[in-house]
Amino acid sequence: MTRDSDALSDPKAMRALAHPARLMILNRLGVEGSATATEVAEIAGITPSAASYHLRMLAKYGFVEDAPPRGDGRERLWQPVDRSIRIGVLPGDLPDVRDAKVQLMMASRRQANEEADRALADVDKEPAEWRDATRFNRTLIRVDVEEMVRLNEAIQKLIEPYAARRRAEKDTPSGARIAEVQVNLFPVAKRPVPGLPTEDHDAR
């Protein structure tokens, strides 16, 4: 995740977004468009009053805004601010900024893992063509830092035309649905070596 603006250099803004309900609300608005507090409350599993509070907090830090009214205009509608979200830890980050970035990235990763786990658990329920198109890949690569930066840019450029926040449902082929791409590029951290066990329990 990252936002291409200075908003996410503010640790308070990042900590505000790191709340799981707020991440779910923001994703819901980004995928399905404007909604009321009552409508986003259901997807987040919270009360409408709690959803209203979370929406106001998201608005306070510039993640959502009022949407054009519908019907008689008595309901307050919210929509996401039209900016992409990305986050990266930088060498010059102050400790509180770095901690807030890590907190937000970890919250996003937990939510992404839950999404992938649900998809994997339900994969047998999908039509054959969607099962065949589903991939859970993990590949170790050997790169220098410039190559990894270029690889990330190429992946993002490839994905961007399909982003749900940009691609209206009316512009997609028949049968299109929401899918998720999860991309993680990171240098592999050294794994602690636990050493040899004192007894070979598996031999029994």
List all residues 6 or more positions away from 161 whose beta carbon is below 8 Å from its beta carbon: 167
Average pLDDT over residues 81-100: 85
Average pLDDT over residues 160-176: 90
Asked if the model's pLDDT at residue 55 lies above 90, the reply is yes
User: Of 73, 105, 137, which residue sits at a domain end?
Assistant: 105
Confidence grade of residue 1 (pLDDT, cut at 50, 70, 90): very low
Mean pLDDT score of the chain, rounded to an integer?
Answer: 89
CA–CA–CA angle 60, 49, 76 (5° rounding): 65
Task: Return the number of other C-beta atoms located less than 10 Å from residue 15's C-beta.
Answer: 17
pTM of the model: 0.77
96 and 39 within one domain = yes
- Domain of residue 74 covers 1-105
Number of structural domains (the chain) is: 2
181 and 87 within one domain = no
List all residues 6 or more positions away from 152 whose beta carbon is below 8 Å from its beta carbon: 183, 185
Q: Residue 189 carries which DSSP code?
A: P
pLDDT at 8 (0 to 100): 73
50 found inside a domain: yes
77 and 8 within one domain = yes
pLDDT at 63 (0 to 100): 94
Asked if the model's pLDDT at residue 3 lies above 60, the reply is no
Beta bridge partners of 78: 35, 66
Nearest to 141 by CA among 187, 182, 192, 190: 187
pLDDT at 204 (0 to 100): 56
**134 touches 119 (CB < 8 A):** yes
66 found inside a domain: yes
Average pLDDT over residues 63-67: 95
